Chains A and B, each alone.
Chain A
Amino acid sequence: MNQPDQDNAPEIRGRWSMRQRDIGIAIWVAFLAACVGTFVIFGVMDPEALNDAWVLPWEMGRKLAYSLGFLFLFIVSLIASSLTIFMIRTGPGRGHTTGSGRRPLPEIKDPGEDNPDLDIGEWH
């Protein structure tokens, strides 16, 4: 329904490009994971109790600890989800396992077949 492209073929455009969708998915999944993670971790652990054992030189209140905890989990999850999408997108294509999407294997033959002077025995 949008403007036809150069080949005059009707093009139905989505609102999002593939890459934008990937980024959106990565952020959303990371957010969900961070929510669950924050909920579980601070459900069983009081950050205030850690203050004396804290490695960093400042004391933090609960609100700050909750926020930093969430942010940390969000960033870690975001790294994981972005990397997952990156690995899938850059990896072998769909149909790979059935062979259709896979590059044909390089052909291998006996080195001496067409090269009578090549004594292959030497490399055994």
Chain B
Amino acid sequence: MSGSQSSQETMYRKEPKIYPRHVKGRFARLRVVAVWMLLGLYYVIPWFKVGGHQAVLFDLPARKFHILGLTLWPQDFVYLSLLLIVAGLSLFFFTALAGRLWCGFACPQTVWTETFLMIERWVEGDRSKRMKLDKSPWNANKITRKFTKQLLWIVFAAWTGFTFVGFFTPIRQLGGDIVNLELGGWGTFWIIFYSFATYGNAGFLREQVCKYMCPYARFQSAMFDKDTLIISYDERRGEPRGGRRKSADPAELKLGSCIDCTLCVQVCPTGIDIRNGLQYECIACAACIDVCDQVMDKMEYSRGLISFTTEHALQGEETHVSRPRMWIYGALLLVIVSGIVWGMTQRVPLRADLIRDRNVLYRELPGGMIESVYMLKISNMDNKPHRYELIVLENDAVQFDYSRPLELQAEEVGDFSMRIRMPASAGSGTQNLQLLLQAVDDPSIQRLAKARMLLPVQTNRAGQ
């Protein structure tokens, strides 16, 4: 990891390490707020309980997702897919509107890298101190600082991995297991795996994830148009660039507003020069805007040499927020979100399946009755216990009884074996049965269970 940033090397060269300079300003503050909010939510949410369950718990062994008091069952798979589509569409919508807002302020890669950089800066100092430290020989100071940084990184990464697994296993129980050294093999494996991923991505790979691994970085430009917010250097105002004294008149020196301090390059977490135009490496973190505005203030020039702007605005034209793609993305989002909300309100927290025992076709009882054995599988998806009753629709001749009362605890699944009887004279061959399962205390909770029943074929009385 050479600290050299010279440009003319053609021999084999490792990816040069980037030492982003710390920056303060409007956008840096915004990012710090985003980091605290997002990471705060991430680390805190699993410790809260809503409606008797962990606030967010993806309980894979039980095949149930608990999300803020809502319990999703495998049958609600469609909502999860719709939510994913909403997430994708939102990404399109916000990319078209404001460019790579996601990359610069909300992407976990940015958020965790920012945190790792904070730790690094706290232990090793800012850019120039870090570069000096990396070049210096191993002495007590370097060892202490490097060791402290690594220790803090590893502890933070481990806590991150633990929290991640805590979204899939009840976190309080997981914490207890670790304290009592009773953690199982898979739990241990996944905690270490995610800790390592955090450490590797945020501490080691950093901007290389965005440059080489992220597919979004490759195709986001397809969602851009001339009205999309991008980070842009005002070339017409800035060039020709060059150093000068504050008191000097740029016009006299035949210079633009850019004083060529290269601070915009030094603060860039991906190590690019924004003055070369928009590049796919730019994650729109706006660090260069913050630092350039400070330099402009210092030189008593007007701000905005580098700014969040649109191509239209740069060309002196009007920027249109309202344009066809915004309306299309927006309308699609609205439709799907309303669909999800409507679906959730209409959702009946009950599922019933009537499965015929395949081993026995039917049994003939004295008195001309035919009997078949069924398994009634009921899922009580509600958060309170219910007792259910079965009602036969459209066929008065059907009788049934079940082995035990149809009672289920909250979020319980039960199998009830039952017998259904029908007079042989009621029909011939396959009969379609429709049974309505309904909660005794709340008739709005009801489900139709369909089943087939075989009766002896009348022309051939022998049956099978």
Contact = CB atoms under 8 A, between A and B. Distances in A.
A11 to B, nearest CB: 30
A44 B434 CA distance: 37
Secondary structure of the B contact surface, majority rule: loop
Contacts of B126: 123-124
Interface in A107-124: 107-109, 111-119, 122-124
16 contacts: A52-B377, A86-B218, A99-B10, A102-B13, A105-B5, A105-B7, A105-B271, A106-B265, A108-B5, A114-B244, A114-B260, A115-B244, A117-B299, A119-B298, A122-B294, A123-B126
B298 A105 contact: no
B215 A87 contact: yes
A20 interface: no
Contacts of B243: 113-115
B7 A111 contact: no
A55 interface: yes
B186 interface: no
Interface in B209-234: 212, 215, 218-219
Which are the 9 A-B pairs with shortest beta-carbon distances? A114-B243, A106-B273, A111-B261, A117-B246, A104-B7, A55-B74, A99-B13, A90-B218, A106-B265
A19 B361 CA distance: 59
B429 interface: no
A17 interface: no
Contacts of B100: none
A52 B75 contact: no
B22 A123 contact: yes
A23 B31 CA distance: 40
A2 interface: no
A106 B276 contact: yes
Interface string B76-93: 010000000000000000
A55 B75 contact: yes
Contact of B12 (A92, A99, A105, A115): A99
A53 to B, nearest CB: 9
A83 interface: yes
B107 interface: no
B259 interface: yes
Interface residues of B, number: 47
A9 B218 CA distance: 34
A16 to B, nearest CB: 23
Contacts, number: 94
A108 B23 CA distance: 16
Given A100-B10, A105-B16, A111-B261, A116 B21 contact: no
Contacts of A6: none
Interface size classification for chain A: 20 to 34
B272 interface: yes
Nearest to B8: A104
A108 B262 contact: yes
Contacts of B13: 97-99, 102
A124 B30 CA distance: 20
A41 B299 CA distance: 68
B245 interface: yes
A123 B291 contact: yes
A61 interface: no
Contacts of A86: 215, 218-219
A14 interface: no
A83 B218 CA distance: 11
Given A107-B5, A111-B263, 5 more contacts: A105-B5, A115-B260, A117-B245, A118-B295, A123-B23
Contacts of A92: 212
A2 to B, nearest CB: 33
A1 to B, nearest CB: 37
A91 interface: yes
Contacts of B377: 52
